[in-house]
Amino acid sequence: MILCSSIWVMTSLTETQNGQKMKQILMTGLVLLISPMVLFAVNMTFVVEKLKSNQGSIQVGIYADAGSFLKKGKTIAGYANKGRLTGEQAKVFCQLKPGTYAVAVFHDENGNGDLDTNFIGIPKEGYGFSNNPKSMMGPPEFKEAAFTVGEEDLEMLIQLKY
């Protein structure tokens, strides 16, 4: 509905005006077309706790479905904290559209951009997931880490395991 009314406003006013007014109207129409995408983004804060050191950065990968969950290069978005780590927690901020997501986090202590593991694949750096699932053997499934983003801002606590 907004898209159709925006186009109508742009067309009818463009035909009757010229010059600077026309540019203003076209820009207004463009803002009206883009604004629904911006209005539906929710502010998301990931509070990552139990940091073992202040070295490196916190890496957050966001996944939109089970088929892509924990597959390299399949995140819909990746974020890292800005600035130096201090204390035992870090915050990472982003914006998400309403939907269902799962998050994987790791403490990249050596700054190489990868979750380092030992020879049998056990992580050497801290890691965690949305919902803090209690997985005993291996990573959780998407459904265990999945959460729903609605229309309200969210803050999620993720505790690292080393």
Mean per-residue pLDDT, 119-124? 93
CA contacts within 13 A on the Cβ side of 33: 12
For the chain, domains (ranges, CATH) are: 2-39 (no CATH), 42-159 (2.60.40)
Mean per-residue pLDDT, 59-71? 96
Q: Nearest CA to 157 among 49, 22, 38?
A: 49
Asked if the model's pLDDT at residue 116 lies above 60, the reply is: yes
Q: Give the other-Cβ count within 10 Å of 150's Cβ.
A: 9
Burial of residue 118 (number of CB atoms within 10 Å: 0-12, 13-18, 19+): exposed
The tens digit of pLDDT for each residue in 16-43 reads: 445 555 455 444 444 444 444 445 789 9
